[in-house]
Amino acid sequence: MSTTIRPVLDVVVPVYNEQAGLAACVQRLTAHLETHFPYPWRVTVADNASTDATLEVARMLAARDRRVRVVHLEQKGRGRALNQVWSASDAHILAYMDVDLSTDLDALWPLVAPLMSGHSDLAIGTRLAHGARVVRGAKREFISRSYNLLLRTGLDAGFSDAQCGFKAIRADVAAQLLPHVQDTAWFFDTELLVIAERAGLRIHEVPVDWFDDPDSRVDVVQTALDDLRGMRSVRQRLASGDIPVEAIAASMGRGQLRGGLGRDAWRFAGVGAASTVVHLGLFAALGTAGLALQLANALALVVATMFNTAANRRFTFGARGREGALRLQVQGLAIFALTWAFSAAAIAGLAVVAPSAPTWVATGVVGAASVAATLAKFALFRSRLRPAGKGHFLLEPQAAPAMGTVAAVDTAVAAEAAEAVEAVEAVGADPRGGGDGGRGQCEPAPDSPVTARPLTSVA
């Protein structure tokens, strides 16, 4: 009686009209996994409504190797294929790579090792980090770097390469993220990573050797336009709270993470300095214009407090979206009252001690009072607000299930995974090691008669 072994790794290869090169690429991938990955694995060919013989070739490969599976989709879209196959997979680690195998396969084990050990939640290959070696034209290089620059400026992305077709994710993490990923095409990767990062999940990056596929049929201009639309959509959904990053963070046990005290203090100090300049500048201007000092102080302080609250929410504690914004504004008003009380008392005291003191003296007294109030403000903000991961406010989050390692991977596997990560980070020699003969792409398989065997598709 045969027993089905649950795979540790499921590598998905999305394809559309790839009948010429599919067989060679899948055979090369399975040969690599058989040699270099000593745990149960599966390769899933996800056919995106191909109109040529891609599906028949895939079924032939599955007939020859029980570790190869075929999923047929009636609609195109890499994101649609990955979402469907990953959601239905029973593997512990889910990965995908482009069919041209532009990324050298020696990076596969370093990609999945930190996920198997439980160290990271997602892992991506990167062509733009130190240590990556990339062979491609200047046009593609410019477009790639420009796109990732847009992500950093427009969505505050911290990962270096969103579109490299070489990624992996833990199955429990995918179950939390995939229901919130809407894109069904090329922006799928970016949307997934942005949501993961905003939820405070750990993304491991692996510098890769990457060779551009000269036969790539990706419409670069259309893809770029779609990506810009995707960025706008994700930004709007994050701002509206449609993507529940706080809930995802809590469900993954990320609610207790908070930024370092030193980092928070420096950013808070910077915002406070800018706010103080705004406050004192307006106070001096209004006082010089003849406005009563108490009224000038109140008006200047209202403007400075609004600026301070917004800036600290965004830059110091990294909050995004509308959720919690009203609560923070109420807290800002409380801080305003505190600061006003400090500065008003200082002005009143100055009026008793030196009734005819010039405006610059009053400005200095108000400044000293503002510093005292700022220290109290920082203590209040930090004690009441806990940023989840990359800066989402959570008020004393409730206990969530702790994140564990992959259940089916034992201690020995975790140790080997950790050693693999350390080896890759420490290696100074050619990481290729000749494992794939220095090849970056697949040659089309030689023509040969095949007999296709129908295989039930996964719905």
**How high is the pLDDT of residue 12?**
97
Question: The domain at 9-255+403-426 falls in which architecture?
Answer: Alpha-Beta Complex (3.90)
| CB contact at 8 A, 367 and 276 | yes
| Cβ count within 10 A of residue 276 | 17
pLDDT(417) > 80:
no
Coil, helix or strand at residue 255: coil
- Provide CB contacts within 8 A for 236, sequence distance 6+: 242
Cα dihedral angle (175, 119, 418, 263), rounded to 10 degrees?
150
Q: Tell me, what's the pLDDT at 401?
A: 37
Among 255-269, 322-336, 367-381, 434-448, the least confident range: 434-448
Whole-number pLDDT of residue 419: 54
- Distance CA(383)–CA(392), nearest Å, equals 14
pTM: 0.65
CB atoms within 10 A of CB 438: 11
Range in 103-112, 150-159, 194-203, 332-341 with the lowest mean pLDDT: 332-341
In this predicted structure, the answer to whether residue 324 has a pLDDT above a threshold of 70 is no
CB-count burial class (<10 Å; 0-12, 13-18, 19+) for 392: buried
Q: What residue ranges do the domains of the chain occupy?
A: 9-255+403-426, 261-387
Phi–psi pair at 316, nearest 5 degrees: -80, -50
Radius of gyration in angstroms for the set of CA atoms belonging to the chain, rounded to a whole number: 28
Q: What is the pLDDT of residues 250-267, one digit of tens each?
A: 888 875 444 556 667 777
Q: Which helix (H) or strand (E) holds 366?
A: helix 359-384
- 414 in Cβ contact with 118 (< 8 Å): yes
Predicted local distance difference test score (pLDDT) of residue 431? 35
Predicted pLDDT of residue 329: 65
